[in-house]
Amino acid sequence: MITIYGVHRSRASRNIWLAHELGIPFKLEPVVQRYRLKEPLPSDVVHTKSPSFLKVNPNGHIPTMVDDGVVLHESLAINLYLAKKHGGPLAPANLAEDGQMGMWAIWAMTEVEPHALSIQTNGATKESIDALRAPFGVLNDALADGFLVGGRFTVADVNVAEVVRYARGASELFDANPRVKAWFAACVARPAYRKMWEARETEPA
């Protein structure tokens, strides 16, 4: 059984969603972001700067995954690993799809996430919306077949949808890109996503 260090209200949500999609059991080891805790720190809460967690991930960030001696720290990389290990339609069918799935993970992290996070944190400012107009257009064009890779729902869709989620406060971006809007709605309607989200809602904000 794999162990995921983190909480649902973190990038660990990406790994939890995928684990539900794959139907694989996992243990969630709660680790809270240090910046979310007020002083004095509660003694019974493990956070990202706790010595015990830093032994697992010296970077001091969540999530981290441990799977039979394999330790991975970055959420999108963890998902690519899990999909390839467990196979099935969410995994790459060949080397070309493997490359495309890796490309979309890096694209989401570099082209979308910084600006989308700004929307989630600071609201839909003109600067953030303008910065995402071109990436959303690229994504809209890429969804001509309904999904990002191979014309089917894959780990690429999980990774990108979880980044795009941060931009939900900018409805004009979705309205201007109907394929993105429909694709995102389909992603978050999936039972595995809903299972993750319902658990997330039970955690302290």
* pLDDT tens readout for residues 34-47: 999 998 888 889 99
Distance between CA atoms of residues 201 and 115, nearest Å: 24
Position 91, amino acid: A
The segment(s) of the chain belonging to CATH 1.20.1050.10 are 95-193
Condensed to tens digits (0 to 9), the pLDDT of residues 85-107 reads 999 999 999 999 999 999 999 99
| Predicted confidence band of residue 205 (pLDDT cuts 50, 70, 90) | confident
How confident is the model at residue 42, as a pLDDT? 84
CA distances from residue 70 to 32, 55, 63, 204 in whole angstroms, order as listed: 22, 14, 14, 30
Name the architecture of domain 2-89: 3-Layer(aba) Sandwich (3.40)
pLDDT for residue 181 is more than 90: yes
Who's near 139: CB < 8 A, 6+ residues apart?
Answer: 112, 160, 164, 177, 179, 180
Give per-residue pLDDT as tens, 104-159: 999 999 999 999 999 999 999 999 999 999 999 999 999 999 999 999 999 999 99
- The ranges of the chain annotated as CATH 3.40.30.10 are 2-89
H or E element, residue 199: helix 191-201
Sign for the CA dihedral angle at 196, 173, 175, 157 comes to: negative
* Mean pLDDT for the stretch of residues 59-65: 98
Report, at the CATH architecture level, how domain 95-193 is classified.
Up-down Bundle (1.20)
Q: Where would I find the beta strands (DSSP E) of 33-93?
A: 64-67, 70-72
78 pLDDT higher than 90: yes
**Residue 102 phi, psi (nearest 5):** -65, -40
